[in-house]
Chains A and B, each alone.
Chain A
Amino acid sequence: MRGVRFTALLGVVLLAGVTLLFVTGLLSYAAYNPDLAPVNDKTPGKGRLGFYLFPWPTDPHWLYRLTQGLHVTLGVALVPVLLAKLWSVVPKLFALPPVRSVGHALERLSLLLLVGGALFEFVTGLLDIQLEYIFPGSFYPLHFYGAWVFFAAFVAHVGLRLPQALRALRERRRNGSFDPGPEPSTGAGEDGLASPDPAAPTVSRRGALGAVGAGSLVLLATTAGQSIDPLRSTALLAPHGGRDPGSGPNGFQINKTAEARGIRPADTGEAWRLTVSGPAGNIAMSREDLLGLALYSAALPIACVEGWSTSDQWWRGVRLRDLAALAGFERDRPPAVLVESLQRTGAFRSAALRDNQVRDPRSLLALEVNGETLSPDHGYPARIIVPAAPGVLNTKWVSRLTFGELT
């Protein structure tokens, strides 16, 4: 059962899967625009690890929904592949002698980073999407720097082992059969994966691969629906699957409720004012004032870093670039904006949006959703909604917009 072919096949699947996880993870990091303003940057010590950062686009409007949905759903579905891969190389862990040479010692140390890193990334990711924040510190630096440590070991491992894996798979093809053929005699001894004295087989290699695949499928089937509205009821074990928290126009998924963020009715009642700041000074506006401005509609999703998302909701409100004009900027050349919320806690109670995001005509300070006034949990009296932006940048319960100044 165990053997170089089994390991090779799982390894090739992980090579593709982990690469996609790494790339979508880096994209998610870029989507926060961490280089725009200190408030957006949860990893200020990143050094050159943010070398690739670029202004996150607003098109297509479902971009973050796709990349982050892929990141989380694929990560969940790869759990059995990772576990099977680790199982298949367990004999190596206890290989004797434990260290043959300096090179071998280095490689084993590298494998500790590889295995520790992979498990660290999967565990922190799985805990974070379940809102179980028990890891030692903030999720962002742990998952981001951990990913780079893991990836460093991953690249070395691929460099050292990919030729061997491809050889094992080619051999399979040449033999024309995959199952239940014995391990190639050369490979078995040299790799030490296949048991020299195997117990009577109870499952074929194809059967074991089938079980791993079934594991991925079951996880996929109970997770994917949290990012696809018509299938939400099938995502039975996913944090935002099963059902919506409410019904009607405001019934869709909520990241943080008003109560959880300490929003009191007194803060959002008649006395609430939005302050718009810029070269024109500080302008205080009531909700009535805002409803008196030109209102526009945009169909945009909520897409969370935790991987879940909603389909497009129909938002209605004031264009951010119109508010920039009120603040004293040219309408077609608006600057970046610092958005501040009434919420008292949370890493993103203030967040910055880049000029390309402010400029987009679909970027709104929304007052209504799906034809109704925003509910408290969706950001009443006013919230930001920007195409393709991660959910945490769509600030709820907005109290202040400062155009041009981000600190």
Chain B
Amino acid sequence: MRVQGLRRARRWYGEGTLHLLLMLSSFALAGYAGVRLLDGDRLAIVIWFAGAALVHDLVLVPLYSLADRGLRAGAGRWPGAAAGRRADVNFVRVPAFLSGLLLLVWFPLITGQVENYTPYTGLPADVFLPRWLLITAGLFAVSAVWLTVELLRLRRRATKARPSADH
């Protein structure tokens, strides 16, 4: 009887007992801290907390996935794709990713929207956008040089492999 009851409870819970214990202790601690976290502008804090996850999952991820899919679709029509070099797309993708990452992290400074910045620090606020643009230029330039070296190497290999017509 008892064994059967336990089994039924287990099927109902769907996971092991250890799982249940971990969850309960985790939620209890999160509750203890959460009550304190929400002791303020409660609605706004909940919106920020849950909103961070929602904006990430429903805006940021679809956005960069779409951008990447568009890039790949476009790359399918590049001359390189015909030559079987699918990886060409990465020479655009990686610097774009790095530049986008810098923009994402330093967005407030780069867009110059931090009103406190100069009054507080005594530093000029208009330097971040040009610096980010120059870094972005540098990233794409490095990628261009890299791709050129790759293409030259491929061509040399192809020339060597081709049997000479003189024989």
A interface, CB within 8 angstroms of B? 43, 45-49, 76, 79-80, 83, 86-87, 90, 93, 100-104, 106-107, 109-110, 112-113, 115-117, 119-120, 123-124, 126-127, 130-133, 135-138, 141-142, 145-146, 148-149, 151-153, 155-156, 159-160, 200, 202-203, 207, 211, 214-215, 218-219, 222, 236-237, 239-240, 242-243, 245-246, 253-257, 259-260, 377
Please report the C-alpha to C-alpha distance between residue A116 and residue B120 in the assembled complex, in whole angstroms.
31
Residues on B with C-beta less than 8 A from A160 are 19, 22
B44 touches A156 (CB 8 A): no
B117 touches A115 (CB 8 A): no
Over the window 38-64 of chain B, the binary record of Cβ atoms lying under 8 Å from chain A Cβ atoms (1 yes, 0 no) is: 011100110111101100110001000
The reply on B123 being an interface residue by CB < 8 A is: yes
Residues on B with C-beta less than 8 A from A103 are 13-15, 19-20, 23
Residues on A with C-beta less than 8 A from B22 are 156, 159-160
Known: A219-B101, A253-B121. A141 touches B19 (CB 8 A): no
Choose from A115, A159, A240 the contact partner of B121 (Cβ within 8 Å). A240
Known: A110-B26, A156-B26, A237-B110. A116 touches B53 (CB 8 A): yes
A149 touches B30 (CB 8 A): yes
Choose from A47, A76, A243 the contact partner of B36 (Cβ within 8 Å). A47
Please report the C-alpha to C-alpha distance between residue A207 and residue B89 in the assembled complex, in whole angstroms.
13
B33 touches A152 (CB 8 A): yes
- Segment among B125-133, B149-157, B159-167 that sits at the interface with chain A: B125-133
Least distance between A219 CB and chain B CB atoms (Å) = 6
B56 touches A260 (CB 8 A): no
Inter-chain CB contacts under 8 Å: number = 211
The reply on B135 being an interface residue by CB < 8 A is: yes
Least distance between A226 CB and chain B CB atoms (Å) = 11
B34 touches A131 (CB 8 A): no
B15 touches A104 (CB 8 A): yes
Please report the C-alpha to C-alpha distance between residue A117 and residue B26 in the assembled complex, in whole angstroms.
13
A148 touches B121 (CB 8 A): no
A112 touches B53 (CB 8 A): yes
A218 touches B102 (CB 8 A): yes
B119 touches A257 (CB 8 A): yes
Known: A148-B29, A219-B102, A222-B102. A142 touches B19 (CB 8 A): no
A242 touches B37 (CB 8 A): no
Q: Which residue of A lies closest to B42 (CB)?
A: A136
A149 touches B37 (CB 8 A): yes
Residues on B with C-beta less than 8 A from A137 are 40-41, 44-45
Please report the C-alpha to C-alpha distance between residue A76 and residue B25 in the assembled complex, in whole angstroms.
30
A119 touches B56 (CB 8 A): yes
Q: List 14 A-B contacts (CB under 8 A).
A: A43-B36, A46-B36, A103-B13, A106-B20, A119-B56, A130-B108, A131-B116, A152-B26, A156-B22, A159-B22, A160-B22, A218-B101, A237-B109, A237-B132
B interface, CB within 8 angstroms of A? 11-15, 19-20, 22-23, 25-27, 29-30, 32-34, 36-37, 39-41, 44-45, 47-50, 52-53, 56-57, 61, 72, 86-87, 89-90, 93-94, 97-98, 101-102, 104-106, 108-110, 113-114, 116-117, 119-123, 127-128, 131-132, 135, 139
Residues on B with C-beta less than 8 A from A211 are 93-94, 97-98
Known: A120-B48, A203-B90. A145 touches B37 (CB 8 A): yes
Please report the C-alpha to C-alpha distance between residue A255 and residue B116 in the assembled complex, in whole angstroms.
11
Residues on A with C-beta less than 8 A from B12 are 101-102
B131 touches A242 (CB 8 A): yes
Residues on A with C-beta less than 8 A from B45 are 136-137, 142
Residues on A with C-beta less than 8 A from B50 are 112, 116
B40 touches A102 (CB 8 A): no
Residues on A with C-beta less than 8 A from B93 are 202-203, 211
Choose from B15, B119, B122 the contact partner of A101 (Cβ within 8 Å). B15
Residues on B with C-beta less than 8 A from A236 are 131, 135
B123 touches A240 (CB 8 A): yes
B97 touches A131 (CB 8 A): no
Residues on B with C-beta less than 8 A from A148 are 29-30, 32-33, 36-37
Choose from B44, B101, B109 the contact partner of A80 (Cβ within 8 Å). B101
Choose from B49, B56, B109 the contact partner of A130 (Cβ within 8 Å). B109
Please report the C-alpha to C-alpha distance between residue A214 and residue B96 in the assembled complex, in whole angstroms.
12
A152 touches B114 (CB 8 A): no
Please report the C-alpha to C-alpha distance between residue A243 and residue B155 in the assembled complex, in whole angstroms.
45
A257 touches B23 (CB 8 A): no
Residues on A with C-beta less than 8 A from B27 are 106, 109-110, 152
Q: Which residue of B lies closest to A259 (CB)?
A: B119
Residues on A with C-beta less than 8 A from B14 are 100-104
Please report the C-alpha to C-alpha distance between residue A203 and residue B75 in the assembled complex, in whole angstroms.
14
Known: A104-B14, A110-B23, A239-B117. A214 touches B33 (CB 8 A): no
Please report the C-alpha to C-alpha distance between residue A124 and residue B26 in the assembled complex, in whole angstroms.
23
> 10 shortest A-B CB distances, which residue pairs?
A101-B14, A103-B15, A148-B33, A136-B44, A156-B26, A119-B52, A145-B37, A245-B122, A152-B29, A152-B30
